[in-house]
Amino acid sequence: MAFVQKITPCLWFDNQAEEAARFYVSLFKNSAIGTITRYGKEGFEVHGRPAGSVMTVSFRLEGQEFTALNGGPHFKFTEAISFVVTCETHAEVDRYWDGLREGGDERAQQCGWLKDKYGVSWQIVPAALFEMMADADSAKSGRGDASHAADEEIGSGLTAAGV
């Protein structure tokens, strides 16, 4: 029996669903474009989209299923929702940070958080950060002077990358 993902995030775009899905798939391993659905003539008075234009794109990033929807300009992304990318190496942090921030809002690129060129918010974080935050040692968990401990634990390369 095939695995069925119970919860699938749906990302609402104005008209960039396919472009965004292809961009994300190009950055993440174990990723692919799935089904692309198109608007028909039916419902034009409601959706206002030309028949044959992309309505939804299903895609997978690192095994996680997503749906991208071309729903029009009615809703925008906010930082209230973000996707956390947990990285094992400095190279992985740099690859995702550099790839996702390209063309994004430079004012929204700090402390591991970024907003990509489509307005979607991401957190690019080293796996070691979660271990430090959960550590009983208050200096490592951020309840004390964690900045020095974080630099030693994670490495100064992440700080330089804005993470």
Amino acid 162: pLDDT: 53
Which CA distances in Å does 16 have to 20, 34, 53, 69?
A: 6, 16, 11, 8
**pLDDT tens per residue across span 104-148:** 999 999 989 999 999 999 999 999 876 777 777 766 656 444 444
Amino acid, res. 43: G
Amino acid 49: pLDDT: 93
Amino acid 4: pLDDT: 84
Q: Which residues pair with 125 in a beta bridge?
A: 86
| Site of tokens 């309505």 | 55
Walk along the chain (163 residues) in steps of 10 and give the mean pLDDT of each run. 88 98 97 98 91 97 97 94 96 97 94 96 90 71 47 44 50
| Site of tokens 């993440």 | 28
**CA atoms lying within 13 Å on the CB side of residue 102:** 10
Amino acid 136: pLDDT: 73
Tokens of residue 157, six digits: 């390369």
> What domains are there in the chain, each with its CATH number?
10-70 (3.30.720.100), 82-160 (3.10.180.10)
Amino acid 133: pLDDT: 72
CA-to-CA distance for 99 and 145, rounded, in angstroms? 31
- How much is the pTM? 0.81
Q: Report the relative pairing of strands 109-110 and 113-115 from DSSP bridges.
A: antiparallel
